[in-house]
Each structure stands twice: as C-alpha cells, then as structure tokens.
Amino acid sequence: MGRPPTMRKSATIRDVAREAKVSIAAVSYALNGGGTIGEEVRARVREVAQQLGYRPNRSAQAVRTGKSMTLGLVLPDLNNPYYPALAQSFERAARQAGYTVVLIDTSGHVDEEVQGIRRLEQHGVEGVVWCQTAGPDEVVSSDYSVPIVVIGTPSLSVDNVTTKDYEGGQYLARHLVEMGHTRIGMLTAASVLPSKDDRRLGFIEALAGHATVMWEEKAPFAIDLPERIRAALERRDVSAVMCGNDLIAVGVLRAARQLGIQVPTELSVVGFDDIPWASIVEPELTTVRQPVSEMAAVALTLLLDRIAEPSRAVRHFKVGVELIKRQSVAEAPVSWGWRKIGRS
C-alpha cells in the first residue's frame, strides 16, 4: 500500500513550445486560433500538446485576459430541499457554457452572503448568481465589482429571476374553492422575502367571496411546528390549510398525523414549491411547482448576457408556476358535525 500516486507536474506552454521547437506565441496561436500559423506547425503543436497532456493554466489566462471562466453561486442552505436542484442545473448549464462554478453555502447565516460575494469577487469570478435570503434592495446596492443576478428577490436595480408567486397563490385558492372549501387556515412563511407576501396576496384575493380564512399564523422554516400552530390545527375549524411552502406543509402533515386528523378527508393541505419531499410524503402533497431548473438556466442566461454587455438594461424575469394536484386535497366534508368536537 502506501505510496501516493505519481503526480506529474502539468506541462506548461513553454514545455510544448520547446518540444515542438517553436515560440510560445506560436503555441498559443496554434491552439487558440488567431495569429497566422501554418498548417504544419499548427498540426505539430497540437500533436505535442496532446501528447504532453498540456492544459492551459486558467489562473494565468485569468490574469492576462481578465476572464476567469468562473461563476459564483451563493446559496443559503443546500440542506433546504429547494436548492440542490437549482445548484445542479446551474452548475450543469454553466459547465456546458464553458464556465466552472464556485459554490458558497452560507448555511443560513445571512451575514455570510455578502462576505461570500466578496470572496467570490476576490477569486475573480466573472459573475455571481445569488439566492438572496436577506432583505431586498439595500443589501444589493453596495456596489460589487462583478455582475450579479438575484434569484427569488424582485429587486428593481439588479437582474433577477423570480416566480409568479401571486399566480401560484391564486391557483391554490381556486383549487380549494373548486373543491368546496369555505373555511381555510393560512400558515405563512416567516421570512423577509417578498415572495411569501405575493403568494399570500394571490391566495387571499382569489379566495375573496368564495371562502374565508379563519386564521393565519407565521410558521418558522422547519418541519416541527410551534405549539401555537398545533393548537390552531386542533381547533378543527377549517377544512383546508394553505402553507407558505412545502416544508411547512410537510410539518402540517406530520402534526395532523400526531393529532389524529385525517388528511385529506378531514383536512386538505396545500404547499408551495414542489420540493422533492412533496411527492414522497404520505399523502403526496398538492402544491405549486416552481420550475427550479428553468430558473437556474434563466439566471445563467441573464448573467452571461450581462457579462457580455455590462451596461445593458436591467432585466426582471418572472417564470411561470404550475399547480400540481396530488393527494393532500379532497372535497370539503359537507357536514361539519365533527367540528363540534373542537368548538365549544
């Protein structure tokens, strides 16, 4: 056992030049195109480079050209099931475009987000995609030396991609109304992000006249619900609960199970996001899908465009959402007899 694998120093452009008996410049031109290099030389250089396993040193290229072919991705928390898909698509798309992705995961520490961007700047990334959890605008207004695209926060002054949260809220409301629900509880996400407000607003406005929200509570970002909310559930005065995101909805499912409330027969539950968990819980969650991969792709496009043309007008892209009907919603019970149990 024991000996570490051999580790050849990687060949530099000099090595190739020497071996091919031409100048350094010739090698560069031959490999990258540009300049005027004859066919024989070009071929020879290619040959030698190949054989030496020469790969241009990106750092050196970066220093010389200012292009590092590197992009940064700032995420709040990979353990939040919402982000892996985003990270994956982004990395994949970026790689396809020739870029390499540097990852910063702040593990929920909001203050590290800006630090992270600083770090990325220093590393010479050409652009950053930022899934912002901090409050909107002001924090992005500190000027960075690198183009930034924000995902999820609709700031006016920065390129960003957001989802049609308002519409999503509407879809859920309409669906619940169609299913005959008239008394509804709301669990709003406790976050500073405006998306939660849009969802809420869309939901409420689409409900108007057809159903009433009996109560509304703020839920922290975790599956375990605070006692206050369990109590609300236990009152059993609603036939459906709208949750600000799927994580909360999963929490409700679990709480309902513990409280002996049947989902969806006694209580319908809807979420938002369509994270992977939504389809493995029992019952599977009816929710609104955010096209996460698409968002990542759009963010990349926006970013690449801005890198190419730094002074172009700011763009805001709003991607559509989709209602995913699964098993956590049923027709509202016609009789509310069981309600008496909870109500005095």
Partner DNA sequence: ATCGCCACATTAAACGTTTCACTAATTGAC
Partner DNA sequence: GTCAATTAGTGAAACGTTTAATGTGGCGAT
Residues 253-312 that bind a copy of itself (CB under 8 A): 254, 257, 276-277, 280-282, 306, 310-312
Q: How far is the CB of 24 from DNA (least distance, A)?
A: 5
Mark 193-208 as b/e (b = at least 16 C-beta within 10 Å).
bbbbbbbbebbbebbe
> 118 or 339, CB closer to a copy of itself?
118
DSSP 276: G
Report DSSP letters for 224-243, one per residue.
SPPHHHHHHHHH---SEEEE
Site size toward a copy of itself (CB under 8 A) is 74
Handedness of CA 269, 274, 276, 279 (dihedral sign): positive
Could you tell me the smallest distance in angstroms from the CB atom of residue 328 to DNA?
A: 55
**Does 60 sit near DNA (CB under 7 A)?**
yes
What CA–CA distance (Å, rounded) separates 96 from 164? 28
Among 13, 41, 52, 78, binds a copy of itself (CB under 8 A): 78
Q: Is the Cβ of residue 14 or residue 325 nearer to DNA in the bound state?
A: 14
The answer to the question of residue 56 lying near a copy of itself (CB under 8 A) is yes
Of 287, 338, 27, 52, the C-alpha closest to 175 is 287
Contact between 31 and DNA per CB under 7 A:
yes
Could you say whether residue 36 binds DNA (CB under 7 A)? Answer: yes
User: Which range, of 29-37, 127-135, 233-241, 276-284, touches DNA by CB under 7 A?
Assistant: 29-37
- Give the footprint of a copy of itself on residues 172-211 (CB under 8 A): none
Dist CA 243 CA 251 (whole Å): 10
CA atoms within 13 A on the CB side of 89: 16
Answer for which of 20, 48, 102, 204 binds a copy of itself (CB under 8 A) is 102
Contacts of 59 (CB under 8 A, 6+ apart): none
How far does CA 204 lie from the centroid of its chain?
Answer: 25
Q: Is there a contact between 237 and 339 (Cβ–Cβ < 8 Å)?
A: yes
* Residue 57 CB, nearest approach to DNA (Å): 3
Q: Which partner, a copy of itself, DNA, none, binds residue 38 by CB below 5 to 8 Å per kind?
A: DNA
Sole binder of DNA in the list 43, 47, 51, 55 (CB under 7 A): 55
Enclosing H/E stretch for 139: helix 138-141
- Told to check if 8 binds DNA by CB under 7 A, we report no
37 or 233: whose CB is closer to DNA? 37
Residues in the chain, overall count: 344
Strands in 268-270's sheet, in edge-to-edge order, are 212-219, 183-189, 240-243, 268-270
Q: What is the footprint of a copy of itself within residues 206-245 (CB under 8 A)?
A: 223
Show the site string, 113-152: x = touches a copy of itself by CB under 8 A, - = not.
Answer: -----xxxxxxx---------------xx-xxxxxx----
Stretch touching a copy of itself by CB under 8 A, among 39-47, 65-73, 167-175, 234-242: 65-73
Q: Which of 64, 111, 145, 334 binds DNA (CB under 7 A)?
A: 64
Spell out the residues 6+ positions from residue 105 whose beta carbon is closer than 8 angstroms to its own.
Answer: 75, 76, 77, 78
| By CB under 8 A, residue 100 contacts a copy of itself | yes
Q: Measured from the CB atom, is 24 or 280 closer to DNA?
A: 24
3-state helix, strand, coil in the chain (%, to 5): 40, 15, 40
Task: Report if residue 8 touches a copy of itself, rule: CB under 8 A.
Answer: yes
Q: Does 103 bind a copy of itself (CB under 8 A)?
A: yes
Question: Site residues (CB under 7 A) for DNA?
Answer: 12-14, 21-26, 28-29, 31-32, 34-42, 54-57, 60-61, 63-65
